[in-house]
Amino acid sequence: MKSDTPIYGLMAEFLTAGEVLDATRRARQAGYRDMDAYTPQPVEGLAVELGMRRTRLPFVVLMGGLVGAGVGFCMQYYSMAIDYTFNVGGRPYNSWPAFIPITFELLVLVGAFAAFLGMIFLNGLPRPHHPVFNVPQFARSSQDRYFLCIEATDPSFDRQTTAEFLATLNPHGQVIEVPH
Amino acid sequence: MATDTPGMTNDSRPSPGGVDRPNYVPVGHDLTSVTEKISALVLTRPTGLGWLGCFGFSNLLAGVLVVAVAYLLLMGVGIWGLQIPNCWGFDITNFVWWIGIGHAGTLISAFLLLMHQKWRTSINRIAEAMTIFAVMCAGMFPLLHLGRPWFFFWLLPYANTMSLWPQFRSALIFDVFAVSTYFTVSLLFWYMGMIPDLATLRDRATNRVAQTIYGMLALGWRNSARHWQRFEMAYLLLGGLATPLVISVHSVVSADFAVSLVPAWHETVFPPYFVAGAIFSGFAMVILLCVPIRHFYHLQEFITIDHLDVMGKLVLATSLITSYGYLSEQTFSWYAGDTVEWYTYWFRISGFGQYAYITWLLFFCNTIVPQILWIKPLRRKESVLVIVSLLVLLGMWLERYMIITTSLSRDQLPSSWGFFKPTIWDLATYAGSVGVFLTLFLLFARFAPIISISETRALLPGAHGPEVGR
C-alpha cells in the first residue's frame, strides 16, 4: 500500500442493491458523512442514507415556469397593447384570453429547461473526469455492480481504519483505493 | 382516459421485488445480461445488410424530398396543387398527420410515467425517438408552405428594423410556439433519459472513438445516488410538464381550423377530437416500429407480446374516441341547422364525384377496422396489428385530408368553389418526409440504445429500484 500519496477515498464493491444500502447505513452509523454510493439504477432510499435531504430542483422548475409565463405574457401585452396596437373589430388591445396559449407554452418551455439544466448543474455536470473513474472496476457501476466510496475529506477518515471498516461490510473483493 | 383498460391497472405499490407483472419484464435476465444485450446492439452488433438496405432505400426517399424542396424554392408553392379556394392541401394535411403521430410518444413517455405504468419501459425510448423525428417532419411543412420559407424568422418575436410584431392573437402564431416548444421539450426529455445509458455505452465501448463520443454525450454521468435522486426528480417534473403540453399542442393545431369561419371547421369539438386522433395514429406508428424492431434485433423478451397487446387496446380505445368525434361532428352539423354547415357535411359523405370515397374509406379504416382488436387472439398477432396499424395511419391521413379539402372547396360562396387535385410534387414531398423519418429512425436504432437500459434494470427483481420517477 503506497500510503504516502494522497488519495481521493476508499471504495468497496457490492453485488446487490440490498448490500450497498445496508453498507451505507452502517457507514453512516459509524460516523462517516463524506461518502457517495454508485448504482447502475436508482435505488430507493439510498440518497436518504447518504444524508441527502430534499432537492431544490422542484423550486428551480417552479421559478423557471413562472419566469417563462411572466415574460411570455408581458411580451404579448407590450407588443399588442402598447407598442403595436391593432384594432380588430373594436376588441380590447389587452385581449388577455388570446395570450394564454403562448403564455402556457413558454411556461412549459422555460420550466423544462430549468428541470434539465437544474439537474445537470446541481449534479455538478458536465464533468468529464472524476477520481472515481480511475478505478478500473468502476466501469461496472453503470452496468451491474454497486459501489460505496468513503472520501478522504471526511473528518473521521483514516486510511487504515476506514479500509478495515469497509472490509467488515462484507464487500465483493478487496477494498479499493481511489487515486486522484 | 385509457388507464382503466385491463392489463394496465394502476398498481401504485409494486411488490418488494419491484415486479408484480412479469410479462412486461424480461424473464430470465439479470443486470449483466440486460446491459450486455441492449448495449451490444449498438456496440458490437455488425451493421447488417438488412439495415444497410433499409438505410439506402430511406435515403433515396429523403433524396426525393431534397429535389422536391429545391424545385419548390425555385418555383414557389404553385408547383403544389394549391389553387384558390384550396390554399391548404397536402402540406397542412402532412403537418397535422406527422405531428399527431408524435403525440403517442409523449403520451407513453410522460403520461404513463405519471401513471406508474411499468410497461412503458421497453418502448418509451423508441416512442420518444419517433416523436422527435415526426415533429421534425411536421415542422417542415408549414415552413415550406410559407411561400418564402427563408423569411421563417418573421414568425418569431424579435427586435426588427420594420418595428413589427407577430400577431399574438392568431392561432397560427400559437402554432409556432406550441410546435417549437413541443420539439424542444421532447428532445430534452429524450436526451435526459438517455444520459445514464450513454454512460453505460461509454463504459462498455472498446474503441476510442465510441468511448469519446458517448463519453462526451454522457456529460460525465457517474451513477451517484445523489445524481439519481435529482435525475428522477427532473424526469418526473419533465413528465408533469410534457403531459399538459402534448394536449395543448394538438389543441392549438386544431385551433388553426376551429377559430376560422370555414364550414365544418368552426367546431368546439375539434381540440379533443384532434388530440384523440393524434394519439390514435401515433400508437399505430409505435406498433409499426416495434414489431420489426423486436424481430430484427431479437428483443421478444423485452418488447413482449403483452406490450403489443396493451398497445392494441390503446389503439382500440382511441379509435372509439375518434369515432365518437365523427359522430358528434355529424350530429352538430345536423342539429345546428346552419345551411352551409349542413351542406358541407352532406358534400363530404355524398359527393362521390369529389371526396366521398375518401370520407367512407377513412370511416372504414378508423372506425370499422380497429374493432377486430376486441378479439384477444387477433390482438396478440403481430401480422394483424401491423395491418390494422397501416390502415389506421392511412385512415388518419385521409381524415385530415378530408377535413381540409372538403371544407375549403365548398366555402360559403358558391361562385368560388373549387377542387383540390394533388400534383406529383405534393406526392414527392410527402414521400420524401417519410424518407427523412425512416432515415433518422434507422440512425437512432443503429447508434443509440433503443431500450432504456437503466429503467429496464430497475424493473428486475432485486434491483430494489422502483421505476424511474417514483
Q: List, as one string, the DSSP characters of A107-143.
A: HHHHHHHHHHHHHHHHTT---S--GGGGSGGGGGGGT
| Closest among B142, B244, B129, B240 to B187, alpha carbons compared | B129
A144 touches chain B (CB under 8 A): yes
Indicate whether B188 pLDDT > 90: yes
User: Which whole number is the average pLDDT over B152-166?
Assistant: 87
Per-domain boundaries in chain A: 7-54+128-179, 57-122
CB B224 to CB A139 under 8 A?
Answer: no
- B43 or B248, higher pLDDT: B248
Q: Is pLDDT of B100 > 50? A: yes
Dist CA A104 CA A101 (whole Å): 5
Is there a contact between B245 and A58 if contact means CB atoms under 8 Å apart?
no
Residues B177-190, mean pLDDT to the nearest whole number: 93
Residue B129 is predicted with a pLDDT of 92
CA A1 distance to own-chain centroid: 33
Count Cα neighbours of B52 within 13 Å in the Cβ-side half-sphere: 4
Task: Kindly determine whether residue A123 and residue B231, on different chains, have CB atoms separated by under 8 Å.
Answer: yes
Task: Return the pLDDT at B111.
Answer: 86
pLDDT at B465: 44
Residue B237 touches partner A, C-beta closer than 8 Å: yes
Domain positions in chain B: 22-156+179-459
The yes-or-no verdict on residue B27 having pLDDT over 80 is: no
Interface of B with A in 48-67 (CB under 8 A): none
Which are the contacts of B99, defined by CB distance < 8 A and separation ≥ 6? Answer: B134, B135, B138, B179, B182, B249, B250, B253, B278
Question: What proportion of chain B, given as a percentage, has pLDDT over 70?
Answer: 93
Q: Contacts of residue B35 in chain A, CB cutoff 8 Å?
A: 40, 143-144
Using CA atoms, how far residue B201 sits from A142, B34, B47, B232, in Å, is 9, 13, 17, 20
Predicted confidence at residue A99, as pLDDT, reads 92
3-state secondary structure of A98: helix
Pairwise CA distance, residues B256 & B19, whole Å: 45
Which residues contact residue B393 at a Cβ distance below 8 angstroms, ignoring those fewer than 6 apart? Answer: B101, B281, B284, B285, B288
Residues of A in contact with B231 (CB under 8 A): 42, 119, 123
Measured between CA atoms, the residue of chain A closest to residue B466 is: A44
Q: Chain A 6-35, CB below 8 Å of chain B: which residues?
A: 16-18, 21
Closest Cα in chain B, distance from residue A161 (Å): 24
| B220–A99 CB contact, under 8 Å | no
Q: Is any Cβ of chain B less than 8 angstroms from the Cβ of A128?
A: yes
pLDDT over 90 at B299, yes or no: no
Asked if A112 reaches chain B (Cβ–Cβ under 8 Å), the answer is: yes
Instruction: Work out the pLDDT band at A3, boundaries 50, 70, 90.
Output: low
- How far lies B126's CA from each of A35, A162, B36, B87, B121, in Å? 36, 45, 19, 35, 10
Chain B residue with minimum CA distance to A114: B234
Strand, helix or coil for residue A26: helix
Mean pLDDT value of segment B101-121: 84
The H-or-E segment that residue A105 falls in is helix A100-122
Give the closest of B224, B455, B465 to A17, CB-based.
Answer: B465
pTM comes to 0.89
Is the pLDDT at B436 greater than 90, yes or no? yes
Q: Which residue does chain B place closest to A123, by CA atoms?
A: B227
Closest Cα in chain A, distance from residue B155 (Å): 13
Per-residue pLDDT at B18 exceeds 80: no
CB contact under 8 A, B237 and A57: yes
pLDDT confidence of residue B464: 59
Contacting B residues, span 148-177, partner chain A, CB-CB under 8 Å: 157, 163-165, 167-169, 173-174, 177
As a whole number of angstroms, the distance between CA B57 and CA B51 comes to 10
β-partners of residue B452 are: none
Mean of pLDDT values over B154-173: 87
- Report which of residues A179 and A64 the model is more confident about: A64
Confidence check: pLDDT of B468 > 60: no
> In this model, does residue B463 exceed pLDDT 80?
no
Chain A CB contacts of B463 under 8 Å are 17, 41, 43
Checking if the pLDDT of B467 tops 60, the result is no
The reply to whether residue A80 touches residue B227, judged by beta carbons under 8 angstroms, is: no
Greater model confidence, B7 or B352: B352
Beta carbons within 8 Å of B67's beta carbon, 6+ residues apart: B428, B432
Confidence check: pLDDT of B12 > 70: no
Residue B394 grid coordinates: 392511412
Give A151's strand partners: A9
Which residues in A lie closer than 8 A to residue B219 (C-beta atoms)? 120, 125-128
| Confidence band for B13, pLDDT divided at 50, 70 and 90 | very low
| CB of A38 less than 8 A from some CB of B | yes
Taking residues B147-168, what's their average pLDDT?
A: 87
Judge whether A47 is closer than 8 Å to chain B, CB to CB: yes
- Predicted confidence at residue B196, as pLDDT, reads 92
Residue B21 pLDDT more than 80? no
pLDDT digits (tens, 9 = 90+) for B313-344: 999 999 999 999 989 888 888 888 888 888 88
- pLDDT, mean over chain B: 86
State whether residue B338 sits within 8 Å of chain A by CB. Answer: no
Q: Pick from A80, A143, A147, A150 the residue to mutate for testing the B interface (most B CBs within 10 Å).
A: A143
pLDDT at residue A1 greater than cutoff 60? no
- Please report residues of B whose CB lies closer than 8 A to that of A65: 241
Query: A149: which strand partners?
Result: A11, A36
Integer CA distances (angstroms), A95 to A76, A89, A98, in order: 10, 12, 6
Give A6's pLDDT tier (boundaries 50, 70, 90): confident
pLDDT for residue B433: 94
Cβ <8 Å between A141 and B238: no
Judging contacts by C-beta atoms under 8 Å, the chain B residues touching residue A99 are 168-169
pLDDT of residue B331: 87
pLDDT in tens, B392-419: 999 999 999 999 988 888 888 888 888 8
Instruction: Indicate the average pLDDT of chain A.
Output: 86
Compute the average pLDDT of residues B78-100: 90
Non-local (6+) Cβ contacts of B415 within 8 A are none
SS3 per-residue string spanning chain B: CCCCCCCCCCCCCCCCCCCCCHHHCCCCCCHHHHHHHHHHHHHCCCCCHHHHHHHHHHHHHHHHHHHHHHHHHHHCHHHCCCECCECCCHHHHHHHHHHHHHHHHHHHHHHHHHCCCHHHCCCHHHHHHHHHHHHHHHHHHHHHHCCCHHHHHHHCCCCCCCCCCCCCCCHHHHHHHHHHHHHHHHHHHHHHHHHHHHHHHHHHCCCHHHHHHHHHHCCCCCCEHHHHHHHHHHHHHHHHHHHHHHHHHHHHHHHHHHCCCCCCCCCCCHHHHHHHHHHHHHHHHHHHHHHHHHHHCCCCCCCCHHHHHHHHHHHHHHHHHHHHHHHHHHHHHHHCCCHHHHHHHHHHHHCCCCCHHHHHHHHHHHHHHHHHHHCHHHHCCHHHHHHHHHHHHHHHHHHHHHHHHHHHHCCCCHHHCCCCCCCHHHHHHHHHHHHHHHHHHHHHHHHCCCCCHHHHHHHCCCCCCCCCCC
Query: Are the C-beta atoms of residues B86 and B420 closer than 8 Å to each other?
Result: yes
Mean pLDDT within B278-298: 90
Distance CA B351, CA B204 (A): 62
pLDDT tens-digit series, residues A101-160: 999 999 999 999 999 999 999 888 888 888 888 888 888 888 888 888 888 888 888 888
Verify whether the Cβ–Cβ distance A130 to B215 is below 8 Å: no
A144/B184 touch (CB, cutoff 8 Å), yes or no: no
